[in-house]
Amino acid sequence: MPDIILLEDERILREELVDFLTGHGHVIDATGSMAEFEQCFQPERHAIAIIDIGLPDGNGLDLVKRLREQKLSLGIIVLTARSSTPDKLNGLARGADHYLPKSTDLDELAGIVASLARRLEVGGINLRWILQSSARKLIPPGLPPIDLSPQDFTVLKVIIEGNGNPVSRKEIIEVLGDDIATTDPARLDTQMRRLRRKVSEATGKELPIKTLRNEGYQFYAPAEVL
């Protein structure tokens, strides 16, 4: 599932959209103003933007136009209360892929997001983190590959193969060939810190792994092992 950035100034609707789309497997970054959007937007990570028009600091269509002028591989959905035909035609002319009224059923929105994601992937846009087994590299979405040590690769592989589910510390330690009863638990924590730092220094973005207290680790972004 592609990462989505949402721009919606109405807090209740924003939270509803985040909950709904997160439930469909998307990672959502929610913003409430154009300034917040500009600060949060990561073109190498966000594949789809959902943008409102009437905002506290400007017109969302101006933002859509600027994004299109950057020639980004970005799917753009305008979701707005301004639903007249002239408004829709103007939004599409500015660069929106879809122009939807806020009354749109959420299931329909989910279908449009899924369809747009498929079109982006068919167009050659990588929306996933790729772990290459043969070359022992991690490829973030839209960025160059990162060389991994054998231990980095082994840890990432077992976590990614959890398919979005938590992977226990015990399982990771055993895959590394150690004994959970005798291994210092701080060793795995140190390994994860080094791995996060390596990805951050190479890409400027965060490695999408959650540390789950008393459970282990979870890779929460779309990923696959090749």
211/216 Cα distance (integer angstroms): 6
Containing 127, the helix (H) or strand (E) segment is none
Domain 3-122: what homologous superfamily?
A: Response regulator (3.40.50.2300)
Spatial strand order in the sheet of 46-51: 28-31, 3-7, 46-51, 75-80, 98-101
CATH number listed for the domain at residues 129-225? 1.10.10.10
Q: Break the chain into its structural domains and give their ranges.
A: 3-122, 129-225
Report the distance separating Cα 73 and Cα 54, nearest Å. 24
SS3 per-residue string spanning 180-202: CCCCCHHHHHHHHHHHHHHHHHH
Per-residue confidence (pLDDT) for residue 142, from 0 to 100: 66
Q: What is the mean pLDDT of each run of 10 residues along the chain (226 residues)?
A: 88 93 86 94 86 93 92 88 90 93 91 85 62 85 80 87 83 74 71 86 80 81 80
The packing angle between helices 85-94 and 60-69, to 10°, is: 30
> What pLDDT, in 10s, does the model give residues 49-96?
999 999 999 999 999 999 998 877 789 999 999 889 999 999 999 999
Q: How far is CA 44 from the centre of its chain?
A: 10
